Structure 1
Amino acid sequence: MSQLHRRGFLLGGAALGAGALVAGCTGNSSDKDTAPQVKAPPAASGSSEAPGKPVTIGFSAPAADHGWIGAISINATAQAKQFSDVTLKATEGTNDVNQQIQQVQTLIDAKVDALVILPYDGKALTAVARRAMEAGIPVVNLDRVFANALSYRTWIGGDNYGMGVNAGTYIAARMKQAGKANPVIVEVAGLDNLELTQQRSQGFREALEAAGMKVAARQAADFTAATGQRVAAQVLQANGKIDALWNHDDDQGIGVMAAIKQAGRDNEFLMVGGAGSKKAMDDIKADNTPLKATVLYPPSMASSGIILARMIAQAKSLGDLAELEVPASVTTYSAVVTKENVDRYLPTAFS
């Protein structure tokens, strides 16, 4: 459960502390006083990790044609194996929307106890996810959100806007540290027609603006190494001086780094990546390339999705929260990985 951000107070000591505080505040009150009484919620029904009733969880995701997507499926399978009471029925990854719909329908017909779905296209899979919910099968929606909340019980995914904010905040801090008043900051984005790309760019731009800086040049690629190299070469050619570069995606970043090396500009500026690949983290740790940080978009959300699906199917709750039910949404945090903390995050990296 380390990947879930547990907000709220711990039920044990914190609840006791609250009770003691109430007693202390009302100890000198007369019988006529009507001070509000604080009542702690009932404790959660046992550890969420303790074995429960056997459940079957269906899992569906796109084809593993990208390191991050591949890690999603690997993490989901590995997490399910950690539970003796979970049977995982995983479909073959596909980027064919109609095929994924059919696969999910097959899982519904098999009467699985819960579904974890990363849709290739959230809008297109909304109807079949809704059918699952109507059949009494709770759906955990991974990352690419369905068109309406009637199609899922819980959503867990990344924070694209926050990813941009944290990349911009880190770069701004490094620029101020270096004494650069008007730094030239460029951005190599992902697919521009995707909302997630737009959100990342918005967060990046607004974080820089808050620090009195701006994006000098921006160009979109399409999350592949080949386009990353081509686009980065164009950006480098158009900008004779660069102080910092943010690349949205670490797989795409392989091409960006190749373009930087080919241009002989390895030591000119710092680069920040995105998502959290093992190669990026290895480069950050070695500290011998322009890449000095990457902003996470953790595929460990798939592991957490399996954990949440199991808890929902077994009517369990998050033990460290006061809530009696699993939350309706969980947003992962886009931590900035640097040389100083890379060892902590390496176990979460994807190949």
Structure 2
Amino acid sequence: MTLPRRLRAAGAACLSALFLIACGDGGEPQPESSGKPRVALIMKSLANEFFINMAAGARAHQAEHADRYELIVNGIKNESDLAQQVALVEQMMASQVDVIVIAPADSQGLLPVARRAVEQGIVVVNIDNRFDEKALATMDLRIPFVGPDNREGAYRVGLALAETLEPGDEVAIIGGIPSAFNARQRAAGFRDAMAEAGIAVVTEQAADWEQAKAATVAAAILNENPALDALLCANDSMALGAVAAVRQAGRRGGVSVVGFDNISAARGLIAGGDMFATAEQYGHQLAVFGIEYALQVLEEGTDPADRKTPVDVITAAQL
């Protein structure tokens, strides 16, 4: 792997070296580089509490290690804005960052620009949503993934739910963006758990990670399946929408809801009995895990490899 240039021209203009949150609209003029490695964190929707927490964790980590690296924090306006995320990567390439840590909006659509970044000598580390492994192989591209096993996490949440159900009970899955690897893996994990428990998955529909869309999808599912026992949602934002639909349908207490991410709103619903469980993937540290590994690759010339991070099931008993 070609390592990036560590020293930049003293007069080169750059984007933020410290705590800029950009949404693809550009930024204010920034100071010259200090010569320390410059790390760009590129996330998905900054409207999602999960990514707000991720950004906060990264900023706190940089503040504690200000002598080691500089940080630029970027995010897009919604989960599916692929074009904006591509533009952010291109901006970071133009500003000659040393590292890009990215939670891609799409598992394949970001790969061409990610490859250009690697070819430029930037260390690229993938977090949250794994790049498509077959596409990586086809492109002869090695980008390490640092994050949890989404299938395992969803499987464990599903098993916890299954302990409250009976064989033959009916559930539905509300998934994320179908092209996203983590969406597919979480849905697969839910299916694994339901099959093992003998519980029927009557339908599986996408709500693209969005709360409002999930509320609409869940309402239709509830209307079409009067015997439904649970809604398994691939993230907590969609679980919030599902809870709203369950309440609107007058089926609170009769239809369980699970999610994935352990955002504060979900914890509140679990404590109040409106949600049964979620998966904690330590989102506030997820970017930190990626940044630390990327800096190791940068400093030591480490051959990049995937790294698995923890995931745990959260129910009322764990609150």
* TM-score (norm. length: structure 1): 0.68
1:231 Cα deviation (Å)?
1.6
CA distance in structure 1 between the aligned counterparts of 2:250 and 2:126, rounded to whole angstroms: 44
Task: Kindly report which structure 2 residues correspond to 1:256-275, keeping only aligned pairs within 5 A, or say none.
Answer: 256-275=242-261
Are positions 1:59 and 2:59 aligned together? no
Q: Is the 8 A contact 1:55 1:314 kept in 2?
A: no
Distance 1:91 1:61 in 2: 8
**Alpha-carbon shift at residue 327 of structure 1 (Å):** 5.8
Quote the offset at 1:279 in angstroms.
Answer: 0.8
Q: Is residue 312 of structure 2 the alignment partner of residue 331 of structure 1?
A: no
Instruction: Identify the residue that residue 294 of structure 2 maps to in structure 1.
Output: 309
Partners of 2:41 and 2:287 within 8 A in 1 = no
* Distance of 1:281 and 1:131 partners within structure 2: 40
Identity %: 30
Give, in whole Å, the separation in 2 of the partners of 1:189 and 1:101.
Answer: 24
Output the CA distance in 2 between the equivalents of 1:326 and 1:75: 26
User: Higher relative contact order at CA 8 Å, sep ≥6: structure 1 or structure 2?
Assistant: 1
**RMSD of aligned Cα (Å):** 2.9
* Pairing partner for 1:293 from 266, 277, 286: 277
Query: What secondary structure, in the 3-state scheme, does the structure 1 residue paired with 2:164 have?
Result: helix
Equivalent residue, structure 2, for 1:156:
146
1:110 is displaced (CA, Å) by: 4.2
Amino acid in the other structure paired with 2:136: N
Letter in structure 2 aligned against 1:277:
I
CA–CA distance in structure 2, aligned partners of residues 216 and 233 of structure 1:
15
Across the two proteins, how many residue pairs are aligned to each other?
276
CA distance in 2, matches of 1:333, 1:271: 23
Distance, in Å, in 2 between the alignment partners of 1:277 and 1:183 is 28
Quick check: 2:128–2:182 contact (8 Å CA) kept in 1? no
Alpha carbons of structure 1 residues 128 and 214: separation in structure 2 relative to 1, 3 Å: same
1:250 to 227, 231, 236: 236
Residues 232-275 of structure 1: CA deviation (Å, up to 9, x unaligned):
22222222233333122211222211111122211224321222
Q: Is the 8 A contact 2:153 2:189 kept in 1?
A: yes
- The 1:269–1:310 alpha-carbon spacing in structure 2 relative to 1, beyond 3 Å, is same
Could you say what secondary structure the match of 1:308 adopts?
Answer: helix
**Which residue in 1 is equivalent to 2:124?**
139
In structure 2, what is the Cα distance between the partners aligned to 1:326 and 1:268?
Answer: 51
* Paired amino acid for 1:183: D
**8 Å contact kept, 2:97–2:122:** yes
CA contact (8 A) 2:40 2:74 kept: no
Match of 1:166 among 156, 159, 168: 156
- Taking the aligned partners of 2:318 and 2:219, their CA distance within structure 1 comes to 30
1:155-304 residue pairs with structure 2 within 5 A?
Answer: 155-175=145-165, 180-284=166-270, 286=271, 288-299=272-283, 300-304=285-289
Contact kept in structure 2, 1:79 and 1:306, CA below 8 Å: no
Structure 2's unaligned 5+ residue stretches are: 1-34
Counterpart amino acid of 1:332? T
Is residue 129–residue 180 contact of structure 2 (8 Å, CA) maintained in 1?
A: no
Alpha-carbon distance between aligned partners in 2 of 1:271 and 1:62, rounded to the nearest angstrom: 24
1:97 to partner: Cα distance: 4.5
**Other-structure match for 1:72:** 54
CA shift in 2, pair 1:138/1:278, >3 Å: same
Alignment match, 2:112: 127
Moved more, 93-102 or 216-225: 93-102
Q: Is the 8 A contact 1:172 1:208 kept in 2?
A: yes
Question: What is the aligned partner in structure 1 of residue 7 from structure 2?
Answer: none
Aligned mates of 1:341, 1:203 — CA distance in 2: 21
Distance 1:292 1:193 in 2: 27
Check whether the contact 2:107–2:179 (CA below 8 A) recurs between aligned residues. no
Question: After the TM superposition, which of the residue ranges 249-258 and 124-133 deviates more from structure 2?
Answer: 124-133
Q: Could you tell me whether the CA contact under 8 Å between 1:248 and 1:274 is conserved in 2?
A: yes
Letter in 2 for 1:337: I
- Tell me whether 1:115 sits opposite 2:103 in the alignment: no
- Is the CA contact (8 Å cut-off) linking 2:279 and 2:312 kept in structure 1? yes
State the shift of 1:174 in Å.
2.5
* Residue-by-residue CA offset, 1:253-300 (whole Å, 9 max, x unaligned): 22211111122211224321222111111222x3x3231211234423
Distance of aligned partners of 1:97 and 1:190 in 2 relative to their CA distance in 1, 3 Å threshold? closer
What SS does the aligned partner of 2:231 have?
A: strand
Cα offset, 1:304, TM superposition? 0.9
> Cα distance, 1:208 vs. partner?
1.7
Q: Is the 8 A contact 1:141 1:152 kept in 2?
A: no
Give the structure with the larger strand fraction: 2
Deviation at residue 80 of structure 1 after TM alignment: 1.8
With normalisation by structure 2, the TM-score equals: 0.74
